[in-house]
């Protein structure tokens, strides 16, 4: 077996094992979006009126609107969780061991990305199944067409996690990620409210939302769930993935990174 494939399988297996052994993490990752869906959305369904916007062809409840955003939320938190685990690995030394492998660094990071995205996508489908059990359903084919969108969005957010992990030197700093990355990214996006509604209150906020890569990840998932293709969202997501990946590779450069220096 090619050493590339061996390393890919090994890293994905390690991610899967970590996932299986941390059931609490899996449940916690599901509870968060479910609370939003079943509590927050129920409270706001009467307050927030939605007009018909693509890809929807008719009126939808608020619960239905936020499902793609909550799928994005799972991917976002998992991407960040993955970055947290990288920081932990680096502190504990296992990351150092991994990076001393003769395989190219970019390949190792790519394997890590694939592993964490696979776990994220699995969690998204579990969330969609629970939502369906509560009567919040998408078109049947939509669950299939959403897969590539979820993978692309998952890789983008995973790449962002990698980038952050290359700059965070200590585990304690992760709280900063929550405050300065996750919350702004999530709330300044189309996950919870359509952008036209944001434009009504502030054009500046609308502009920030419109350039937020997370908005485009959510829209890509939203359109895919409704059997539609959003080319511009895909373009934005691919561009952001490239930028985050290249920056992460630069961040993990042994000549620059803390890991390299300590190693």
Partner 1 sequence: MIFKKLSALSTIACMLLSTAAGAGEIWVTNEKDDTVSVIDTDTLEVIQTYETGERPRGITFSKDFSRVYICASDSDAVQVIDPNTGKILHDLPSGEDPEQFVLHPDDTHLYIANEDDAITTVVNTQTRKVVAQIDVGVEPEGMAVSPDGKIAITTSETTNMAHWINTETQELFANTLVDSRPRHAEFAKDGAEMWVSSEIGGTLTIFDTANQSEKAKISFEVQGVHQDRVQPVGFEFTNGDTHAFVALGPSNHIAVVNAETFEVEDYILVGRRVWHMAFNADKSQLFTTNGVSGDVTVIDVASRKALKSIKVGRFPWGAAFRPSP
By CB under 8 A, is residue 151 in contact with partner 1?
Answer: no
Residues that contact partner 1, how many (by CB under 8 A): 18
Least distance between partner 1 and beta carbon 58 (Å): 4
Question: Which long-range contacts does 37-43 make (Cβ < 8 Å, 24+ apart)?
Answer: 37/63, 37/66, 37/67, 37/70, 37/131, 37/134, 37/136, 38/134, 41/66
- The token pair at 122 is 């699995």
By CB under 8 A, is residue 97 in contact with partner 1?
Answer: no
Applying CB under 8 A, the span of 25-33, 101-109, 112-120, 227-235 interacting with partner 1 comes to 227-235
Applying CB under 8 A, the span of 38-46, 170-178, 208-216, 236-244 interacting with partner 1 comes to 38-46
Smaller CB distance to partner 1: residue 229 or 250? 229
**Nearest by Cα to 135 from 219, 41, 228, 239:** 41
Distance CA 156, CA 223 (A): 17
Distance CA 236, CA 194 (A): 18
**Nearest by Cα to 171 from 95, 108, 97:** 95
Encoded one letter per residue, x for contact with partner 1 by CB under 8 A and - for no contact, window 160-189 reads ------------------------------
Smaller CB distance to partner 1: residue 148 or 184? 148
- List alpha helices for 93-141, DSSP H: 94-99, 105-133
Smaller CB distance to partner 1: residue 49 or 102? 49
Least distance between partner 1 and beta carbon 244 (Å): 25
- Chain residues binding partner 1 by CB under 8 A are 42, 45-46, 52, 57-61, 139, 141, 144-145, 148, 224, 227-229
């Amino acid at each position: 077996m090619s050493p590339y494939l061996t390393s890919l399988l090994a890293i994905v297996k390690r991610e899967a094992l970590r996932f299986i052994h941390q059931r609490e993490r899996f449940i916690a990752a599901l509870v968060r979006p479910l609370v939003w869906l079943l509590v927050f959305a129920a409270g706001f369904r009467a307050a927030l009126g939605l007009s018909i916007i693509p890809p929807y062809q008719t009126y939808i409840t608020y619960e239905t609107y936020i499902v793609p955003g909550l799928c994005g939320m799972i991917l976002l938190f998992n991407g960040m969780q993955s970055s947290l685990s990288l920081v932990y690995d680096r502190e504990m030394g296992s990351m150092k061991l991994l990076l001393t492998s003769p395989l190219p660094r970019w390949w190792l990071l790519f394997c890590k990305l694939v592993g964490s995205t696979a776990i994220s996508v699995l969690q998204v489908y579990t969330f969609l199944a629970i939502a369906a059990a509560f009567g919040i359903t998408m078109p049947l084919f939509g669950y299939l067409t959403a897969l590539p969108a979820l993978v692309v969005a998952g890789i983008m957010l995973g790449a962002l996690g990698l980038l952050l992990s290359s700059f965070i030197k200590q585990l304690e700093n992760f709280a900063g990620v929550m405050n300065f990355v996750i919350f702004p990214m999530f709330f300044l996006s189309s996950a919870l409210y359509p952008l036209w509604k944001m434009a009504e209150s502030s054009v500046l906020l609308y502009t920030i939302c419109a350039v937020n890569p997370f908005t485009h990840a959510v829209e890509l998932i939203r359109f895919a769930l409704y059997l539609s293709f959003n080319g511009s969202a895909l373009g934005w997501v691919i561009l952001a993935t490239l930028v985050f990946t290249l920056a992460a590779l630069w961040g993990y450069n042994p000549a620059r990174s803390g890991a390299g220096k300590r190693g």
